[in-house]
């Protein structure tokens, strides 16, 4: 049997960190070697350091593991997943890359850098080609580097947009999000602010949707990212939903498309062949429903074990061409699951430390 690759989690105690724990504690390719967090948590048993949120309990095998500080010297694994608060992620992730560790990050700090890949395996695996340039330019030793995944609402939107952009060419898009409270971490938004309410502002979110989506839908040519040429505007709202970001999209295409063609394109889409059949890949990255009142976070958030985006209400848009609603799990597909899938893709490509020689086909 192939030896599993040792991995660590930076920010293991937070909301996204816990999502990583759920995905990695019994992963077939990865062995969870290090749980790291702030000095507040370092030295404590994981079960004492993490305030476990969501369903289930801390996996038995991890309850007594001692949390370590998020410093390269304290972490044994050469591959680390980062669920760090963005206030500290910049410095800490860079320190790990400089120490020769490969960082798979959820934080916003490096996503838009010209030498950092921002990847959804089904959409733009070719962007990983920039890693060599990143290492050379930044002087990261060995397999050191930073690979990022997008902001949670952007990932949900882009999984629905990519097949349509590939076939019809999106020219204009209007995006309105309704984002779950778990997207703000723990304790996140105070209950008295959000219960029975909608907050029409999430700091920095609209800019992330408008820029990260174009980077991922764009190309990578001659060592440079070429953002997609799409006119985009986004509204982002926080709503009293526990998990699951809903994204309403109105789209204008270069090639005229009917709602039927859009639904059929989304139904047929399997994503890039490189990303199919990975341990965390869903059977279908996009699921299309014809129910008139779906997708709904409460009913659909766990589709594809939280890794599928559910699309519904595909219909004519009187202003642009077609409009639809996409919904996905923000801490799974929109965060930890996105990084784990990126790591699985790198392992399949033999580009993760410990994966050389086609050990993870
Ligand atoms: P969170 O619940 O606030 O967790 C933050 C984590 O960072 C905790 O493990 C915390 O450890 C650690 N941390 C804070 N300060 C630190 C320091 N100085 N040194 C080392 N570790 C430190 O946040 P979250 O919601 O999980 O988000 C984590 C990251 O993912 C953020 O960058 C966020 O923007 C991004 N993200 C979140 C979502 C989502 O849906 N929630 C989606 C996409 C991306 P302690 O427990 O020891 O303080």
Structure tokens at 155: 């990932």
Per-residue model confidence (pLDDT) at position 333: 98
Question: Which pLDDT band, with edges at 50, 70 and 90, does 279 fall under?
Answer: very high
Question: Which pLDDT band, with edges at 50, 70 and 90, does 357 fall under?
Answer: confident
Question: Which pLDDT band, with edges at 50, 70 and 90, does 317 fall under?
Answer: very high
Residue nearest to atom 9 of ligand 1 (CA): 11
Distances (CA, A) of 348 to 8, 146, 224: 19, 18, 24
Per-residue model confidence (pLDDT) at position 217: 98
Q: How far is the CA of 59 from the centre of ligand 1 (A)?
A: 20
Question: Is residue 274 scored above 70 in pLDDT?
Answer: yes
- Given a contact cutoff of 8 angstroms between Cβ atoms, the answer to whether 14 and 83 are in contact is yes
State whether the beta carbon of 181 lies less than 6 angstroms from ligand 1. no
pLDDT tens-digit series, residues 117-135: 999 999 999 999 999 999 9
Nearest to 189 by CA among 15, 9, 10: 15
State whether the beta carbon of 40 lies less than 6 angstroms from ligand 1. yes
State whether the beta carbon of 53 lies less than 6 angstroms from ligand 1. no
Question: Is residue 304 scored above 70 in pLDDT?
Answer: yes
State whether the beta carbon of 83 lies less than 6 angstroms from ligand 1. yes
Which of 21, 52, 83 to mutate for ligand 1's pocket (most ligand atoms within 8 Å of CB)? 83
Q: How far is the CA of 256 from the centre of ligand 1 (A)?
A: 43
Residues contacting 69, CB < 8 A, separation 6+: 36, 37, 38, 39, 42
Q: How far is the CA of 184 from the centre of ligand 1 (A)?
A: 9
Q: How far is the CA of 231 from the centre of ligand 1 (A)?
A: 32
Per-residue model confidence (pLDDT) at position 175: 98
Per-residue model confidence (pLDDT) at position 359: 87
pLDDT tens-digit series, residues 77-94: 999 999 999 999 999 999
Question: Which pLDDT band, with edges at 50, 70 and 90, does 278 fall under?
Answer: very high
Question: Which pLDDT band, with edges at 50, 70 and 90, does 55 fall under?
Answer: confident
Residue nearest to atom 16 of ligand 1 (CA): 38
Say whether 152 is catalytic.
Answer: yes
| Average of per-residue pLDDT across 176-198 | 95
State whether the beta carbon of 126 lies less than 6 angstroms from ligand 1. no
Per-residue model confidence (pLDDT) at position 44: 98
The single residue of 152, 165, 236, 329 carrying the catalytic annotation is 152
- Provide, rounded to the nearest whole percent, the portion of the chain with pLDDT above 90: 95
Question: Which pLDDT band, with edges at 50, 70 and 90, does 102 fall under?
Answer: very high
- Given a contact cutoff of 8 angstroms between Cβ atoms, the answer to whether 83 and 12 are in contact is yes
| Average of per-residue pLDDT across 170-182 | 97
Q: How far is the CA of 99 from the centre of ligand 1 (A)?
A: 21
Per-residue model confidence (pLDDT) at position 96: 98
pTM given for the model: 0.96
Say whether 245 is catalytic.
Answer: yes
Give, for 331, the enclosing helix (H) or strand (E): none
pLDDT tens-digit series, residues 30-40: 999 999 999 99
Cα distance between residue 173 and residue 122, in whole Å: 21
- Provide, rounded to the nearest whole percent, the portion of the chain with pLDDT above 70: 100
Per-residue model confidence (pLDDT) at position 1: 60
The single residue of 127, 165, 245, 329 carrying the catalytic annotation is 245
């Amino acid at each position: 049997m192939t030896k599993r690759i040792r991995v660590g989690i930076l920010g293991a105690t937070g909301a996204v960190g816990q999502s990583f724990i759920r995905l990695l504690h019994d992963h077939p390719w990865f062995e969870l070697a290090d749980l790291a967090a702030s000095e507040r948590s370092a030295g404590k048993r994981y079960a004492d350091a993490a305030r476990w949120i969501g369903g289930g309990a801390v996996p038995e095998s991890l309850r007594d593991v001692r949390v370590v500080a998020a410093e390269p010297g304290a972490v044994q694994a050469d591959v680390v997943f980062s669920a760090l608060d963005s206030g500290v992620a910049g410095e800490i992730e860079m320190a790990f890359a400089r120490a020769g560790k490969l960082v798979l990050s959820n934080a916003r700090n490096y996503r838009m850098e010209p030498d950092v890949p921002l990847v959804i395996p089904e959409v733009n695996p070719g962007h990983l080609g920039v890693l060599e340039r990143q290492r050379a330019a930044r002087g990261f030793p060995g397999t050191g580097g930073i690979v990022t995944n997008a902001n949670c609402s952007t990932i949900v939107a882009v999984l629905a947009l990519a097949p349509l952009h590939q076939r019809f060419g999106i020219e204009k898009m209007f995006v309105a999000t309704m984002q779950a409270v778990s997207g703000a971490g723990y304790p996140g938004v105070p209950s008295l602010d959000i219960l029975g309410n909608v907050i029409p502002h999430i700091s920095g979110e609209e800019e992330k949707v408008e820029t990260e989506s174009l980077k991922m839908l764009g190309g990578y040519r001659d060592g440079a990212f070429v953002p997609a040429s799409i006119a985009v505007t986004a509204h982002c709202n926080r709503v009293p939903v526990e998990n699951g970001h809903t994204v309403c999209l109105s789209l204008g295409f270069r090639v005229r498309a009917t709602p039927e063609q859009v639904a059929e394109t989304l139904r047929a889409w399997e994503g890039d062949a490189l990303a199919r059949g990975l341990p965390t890949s869903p059977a279908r990255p996009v699921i299309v429903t014809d129910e008139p009142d779906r997708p709904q976070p409460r009913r659909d958030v766990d589709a594809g074990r939280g890794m599928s985006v559910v699309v519904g209400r595909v219909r004519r848009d009187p202003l642009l061409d077609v409009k639809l609603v996409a919904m996905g799990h923000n801490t799974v597909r929109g965060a930890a699951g996105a990084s784990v899938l990126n790591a699985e893709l790198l392992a399949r490509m033999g580009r993760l430390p410990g994966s050389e020689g086609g050990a993870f086909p």
